[in-house]
Amino acid sequence: MALMITDECINCDVCEPECPNGAISQGESIYVINPNLCTECIGHYDTPQCVEVCPVDCIPKSPDHVENRDQLYAKYLQLTKKAG
């Protein structure tokens, strides 16, 4: 699953620079995650870095973008142009 940011976000700016795929950006009122770019850091790290640094625990898995580990890894390969 791609991750999402809930409206508990306090706009602290710590998640955006941690995303290796550039999936996080400032939305109208809170930060948002582009599900087409989010791989939950699979391929880069063992855990999602935005979740690791979030001080308010507002980054759950998005129920609207269900993906398994293999699908997330395939997305990582496509985004980074690496061969599988």
Question: pLDDT grade, residue 82 (50/70/90)?
Answer: confident
DSSP structure string for 14-36: SSGGG-TT--EEE-SSSEEE-TT
Dihedral angle sign, alpha carbons of residues 68, 74, 58, 18:
positive
All domains of the chain in start order, with CATH:
16-80 (3.30.70.20)
Percent of the chain having pLDDT more than 90?
Answer: 94
Convert the pLDDT of each residue in 18-52 to its tens digit: 999 999 999 999 999 999 999 999 999 999 999 99
In angstroms, the CA 54 to CA 71 distance is: 25
Q: What is the pLDDT of residue 83?
A: 63
Q: What is the pLDDT of residue 1?
A: 79
Q: What is the pLDDT of residue 84?
A: 58
Contacts of 82 (CB under 8 A, 6+ apart): 43, 76
- Residue whose tokens read 């855990």: 47
